Structure 1
């Protein structure tokens, strides 16, 4: 894609709902992929998956999928994961960027799930690291480092005028397909507010996000050390 065209070209939004917040150990319960040619959902595809383990009550309270529902109506995980990875691989191979809120969590979790079930990870399918990921969470941290009010998906949708605060619950955030559409809408609002994002080509934008995330992680670790906290800092999971 040439410089400045990515905001008016196809995007692929991605989200998962899970059994917990450990991207290496937890399982995918539902997922959604939304192909958008800016402003219009050209296709929405969702999966309900039987993760093969109990869904903790805390996780079920967030995404409203119980163990019984997943076992009764969910696809076998290996089948569903192959379908999800195939759609993502096809888009990425064609140069379509993947848009996800807190993308590192979802993509690491997906690759861990694929490996767990003897399937090829996204980098293995592509023959290289995953390119062209756009993450509104990382971008907002870089653009508004001192933001008040939190950086959950719901909070940022409110901050950028995508959803009014009173509409957040009614919007049904934490259903994977609703979260994807909200994330794509959020990204559109952010690129309107910060046009410098739109004029970057995807390679430059991806590298910018990598650098900004590393800087944020280093600052977080510095703060934790000053506070006497030990061990790796957990990447915060999004909350509405």
Structure 2
């Protein structure tokens, strides 16, 4: 080789832990994880190419009216949920069971903004007398990972925006299956993009996300105080992947 010829860059393989991933998403009656209810849910599994190899969808009758604002987002009205949805207790029990089976098998579950979905599911389980998932692991949260590895990128970090940034197709945003699958594929795209810097094991990634989420919440708290959005004594909860 000519002494002035550059060495070829090493190739980094995508981590093994994204070759099979679970995906999880909820659409709900609102954004309060302690009081709002599940309307639709999706739990599935993607292979290394991002192809869906398992999928289960649920439509629940939440037992309470669905606010018009929530219906406008996910398209499910109170009347439709009452006419076509299954009892909430059955849906919650089955969603908890499906997720527990994946986690117990060591399959990482991808959830975009994981503390929202896992926390709301926890409180739904408690509401219906079902043993909740209190410490989900291993979990991959593309929102946390993207912020950690591309901290200074400008713009919003909604699933739609981040999916577009990583060239992941998202049809039917705010539909549980579409959001769950897109989040899984974003996680795989992140793993491919940042392979040289990612931890080798899913357990280490899970642990790092706990610290990243805490740091990100502290940074956002400081920013919100500066712009007057929250009071100086307030603090955003950085608990991850469940609150």
Shift of 1:223: 2.2
More helix by share: 1
> Secondary structure in 1 aligned to 2:212?
helix
Aligned length: 221
Larger Rg belongs to: 2
Work out whether 1:79 is the aligned partner of 2:90: yes
Work out whether 1:193 is the aligned partner of 2:193: yes
2:112 is matched with which residue? 101
Q: What are the superposed Cα offsets for residues 90-142 of structure 1, whole Å, 9 maximum, x if unpaired?
A: 1111111110101110000000000011110013xxxxx22110000001111
> Secondary structure in 2 aligned to 1:20?
coil
Moved more, 26-35 or 145-154: 145-154
Shift of 1:227: 3.6
For residues 75-224 of structure 1, what are the structure 2 equivalents within 5 Å? 75-123=86-134, 129-163=135-169, 171-196=171-196, 199-224=199-224
Two-structure CA RMSD over aligned residues (Å):
1.8
1:34 is matched with which residue? 44
Work out whether 1:43 is the aligned partner of 2:54: yes
Shift of 1:44: 1.1
Taking structure 2 as the reference length, what is the TM-score of the superposition?
A: 0.86
CA distance in 1: counterparts of 2:156 and 2:67, whole angstroms: 25
Change (3 A) 1:198 1:56: same
CA distance in 2: counterparts of 1:211 and 1:234, whole angstroms: 12
CA distance in 1: counterparts of 2:104 and 2:72, whole angstroms: 36
1:238 is matched with which residue? none
Q: What are the superposed Cα offsets for residues 27-62 of structure 1, whole Å, 9 maximum, x if unpaired?
A: 110000111222221111100000111101111001
